[in-house]
Amino acid sequence: MVVNRKILTLDEFTIQQLRQFPTATGELSSLLRDMGLAAKRVNVEVNKAGLVDILGDAGSINVQGEDVKKLDIFANNQFMGALQHGISCAGIGSEELEDFVIFDDEVSNNSKYVVLFDPLDGSGNIDVNISIGTIFSVFRRVSPKGTPCTKEDFLQPGNKQVAAGYIIYGSSTMLVYATKRGANGFTLDPSIGEFCLSHPNIQCPATGNFYSVNHGYFFKYDKGVQKYITACQQKPKSEGGPYTQRYIGSMVADVHRNLLKGGIFMYPGTTDRPNGKLRLLYECNPLAFIVEMAGGRATNGQQRVLDVQPHQLHQRSPLFIGSRQMMDELENYLKETNEANF
């Protein structure tokens, strides 16, 4: 039998990376394996959506005051369970849980990492068969090993992330993760149930022609954002314009497309929600890390997302993320408008 050794599985890839660091303990590989396992379980349920009574509102409201869908809870339990049973994670923070969860058992207290995640982002799209995603962020804990992890382990700025990733449950299921060594994408091969390296060394194009924003809120955005959106629409053909608007309302899918094809995704603050909707710790930070590692940029309109010092698990942040040149252009509009208003 001929074995195709060109295709690396997620495990093989992370072990290959590990081999380049003789002092590495393998805990990160093991953590990524746990995330991959939970993702496969969630994927099975997402694919069955519509067949079983797991869809629709679970009848409770999550800590953000939004309706919780049943699959959100299922996904939350899968990721939390896989990490708790593993050997690499001392505790988690989740969009679905009001507070951090400190695992506090002997193995977990000796683990190196804590993980923050949004188990099922874009869950408003579950009932209508549109791509949804999981987003996660990994930090090395700052509290001493051998003790339970603490709040400070989770409230680190995004530039301290060791790894970050997302899973997109779409026309195919993919896991993309980044470390400081770059971003790589793995597509789930359902025939063997493994994530296989399909997008090595992802590079976000320096520019593109997609802009992703909720136009419905146009008049609630700052003048600078409005001017930039108008400029996207009025961009002359000679400069690659007008840009095409693509916004599916499932951030992982929107950011994934822009990461591969080039583009910009925006969820600005609005007059009624000055910090926007997205959560810094488990939505903005991990995506900002991945996009930066792939050569793109991410800001909150004032500063680099990854430099923000967080103070709360569920804090919100405006987000502008994508191709480097498009981000530069956006920032010129934001700056000009800020200066004009000063």
Chain residues in the site for Mg ion (CB under 5 A) = 118, 121
Stretch that binds ligand AHM, among 15-23, 141-149, 168-176, 244-252 (CB under 6 A): 244-252
Which of 56, 190, 200, 249 is close enough to bind ligand AHM by CB under 6 A? 249
Q: Do residues 334 and 225 make contact, with C-beta atoms less than 8 angstroms apart?
A: yes
What is the C-alpha separation between 108 and 34, in angstroms, rounded? 14
The stretches of 236-283 forming alpha helices (DSSP H) are 251-261
Question: Cβ closer to ligand AHM: 207 or 258?
Answer: 258
Name the one residue in this structure whose structure tokens are 């923070």: 93
What minimum distance in Å lies between the beta carbon of 68 and Mg ion?
11
Residue 70, SS3? helix
Residue 98 in contact with ligand AHM, rule: CB under 6 A = no
249 interacts with, out of ligand AHM, Mg ion, none, CB within 5 to 8 A per kind: ligand AHM
Residue 214 in contact with ligand AHM, rule: CB under 6 A = yes
Residue 122 in contact with ligand AHM, rule: CB under 6 A = yes
Stretch that binds ligand AHM, among 83-91, 99-107, 114-122, 234-242 (CB under 6 A): 114-122
What minimum distance in Å lies between the beta carbon of 118 and Mg ion?
4
Strands (E), the chain: 57-61, 67-69, 89-94, 101-102, 113-121, 132-140, 161-169, 173-179, 182-189, 194-199, 210-212, 244-245, 263-267, 297-299, 319-322
Residue 218 backbone dihedrals phi, psi, to 5 degrees: -45, -45
277 interacts with, out of Mg ion, ligand AHM, none, CB within 5 to 8 A per kind: ligand AHM
Question: Cβ closer to ligand AHM: 81 or 124?
Answer: 124
What minimum distance in Å lies between the beta carbon of 218 and ligand AHM?
12
* Structure-block tokens of residue 108: 């977990």
In degrees, rounded to 5, the angle at the alpha carbon of residue 108 between the alpha carbons of residues 107 and 113 is 130
Which of 131, 250, 285, 299 is close enough to bind ligand AHM by CB under 6 A? 250
Stretch that binds ligand AHM, among 40-48, 99-107, 122-130, 161-169 (CB under 6 A): 122-130
Residue 168, SS3? strand
275 interacts with, out of Mg ion, ligand AHM, none, CB within 5 to 8 A per kind: none
Q: Do residues 233 and 209 make contact, with C-beta atoms less than 8 angstroms apart?
A: no
The interaxial angle of helices 324-341 and 223-234, nearest 10 deg, is 130
Q: Do residues 38 and 46 make contact, with C-beta atoms less than 8 angstroms apart?
A: no
Sheet arrangement for strand 210-212: 244-245, 210-212, 263-267, 319-322, 297-299
Stretch that binds ligand AHM, among 36-44, 164-172, 246-254, 307-315 (CB under 6 A): 246-254
What minimum distance in Å lies between the beta carbon of 163 and ligand AHM?
21
- Whether residue 22 has a cis bond before it, omega within 30° of 0: no
- Minimal CB distance residue for Mg ion: 121
Residue 251 in contact with ligand AHM, rule: CB under 6 A = yes
Question: Cβ closer to ligand AHM: 140 or 246?
Answer: 246
Residue 274: Cβ within 10 Å count = 11
**Count of residues near ligand AHM by CB under 6 A:** 11
Q: How many Cα atoms occupy the beta-carbon half-sphere of 334 within 13 Å?
A: 17
What minimum distance in Å lies between the beta carbon of 171 and ligand AHM?
17
Residue 179 backbone dihedrals phi, psi, to 5 degrees: -125, -175
What minimum distance in Å lies between the beta carbon of 285 and ligand AHM?
14
What minimum distance in Å lies between the beta carbon of 208 and ligand AHM?
18
Residue 217: Cβ within 10 Å count = 18
- Minimal CB distance residue for ligand AHM: 251
Residue 121 in contact with ligand AHM, rule: CB under 6 A = yes
Q: State the residues that interact with ligand AHM by CB under 6 A.
A: 66, 118, 121-124, 214, 249-251, 277
